[in-house]
């Protein structure tokens, strides 16, 4: 059983195919573009997009220059359907391991996406995680929803 105080759940429908959304979770350039919340830049330092692999990434506050980094490990990957990974912050003040489960399901107008993040460290207010994910998912939509003609 998960502690709801340390868990966030979000649900959206995006006007994009599941394969494109799935790719955005595994492509380093895409992650750096959509995952950092507003006011942050992102950098993927390394990535191995397979079960047992993972990535190391940092977010930098654009205004202050302060950065924090984290490591993600892919636990389960089902193309176009499921991404499950764990994340750990590199900072000792942010202990523990979070589990992130992203479920994709094709629907009439695109793809239903469900995000569940569990094990959020006690020092991080849950509402800040909700806010960050909401911003990230808007940026994800801006990346994956446009239908751009080939060759453009």
When comparing pLDDT for 124 and 135, which is higher? Answer: 135
Say how far apart CA 22 and CA 26 lie, in whole Å: 7
pLDDT surpassing 50 at residue 72: yes
| CATH number for the domain formed by residue range(s) 4-38+77-144 | 3.30.530.20
User: Region 48-70: what's the mean pLDDT?
Assistant: 96
Secondary structure class of 100 (helix, strand, coil): strand
pLDDT digits (tens, 9 = 90+) for 130-147: 999 999 999 999 999 998
- Taking only Cα atoms into account, the Rg of the chain, rounded to an integer number of angstroms, comes to 15
């Amino acid at each position: 059983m998960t502690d709801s105080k340390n868990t966030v759940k979000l649900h959206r429908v995006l006007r994009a195919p599941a394969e494109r959304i799935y790719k955005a979770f595994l492509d380093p350039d895409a992650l750096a573009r959509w995952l950092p919340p507003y006011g942050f830049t992102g950098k993927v330092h390394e990535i191995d997009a397979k079960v047992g692999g993972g990535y190391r990434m940092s977010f930098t506050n654009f205004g202050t220059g302060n950065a924090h980094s984290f490591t993600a490990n892919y636990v389960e990957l089902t193309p176009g359907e499921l991404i499950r990974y764990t994340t750990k912050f590199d900072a000792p003040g942010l202990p523990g391991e979070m589990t992130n489960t992203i479920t994709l399901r094709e629907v009439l107008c695109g793809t239903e996406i469900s995000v569940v993040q569990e094990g959020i460290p006690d020092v991080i207010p849950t509402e800040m995680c909700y806010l960050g994910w909401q911003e990230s998912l808007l940026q994800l939509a801006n990346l994956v929803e446009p239908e751009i003609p080939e060759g453009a």
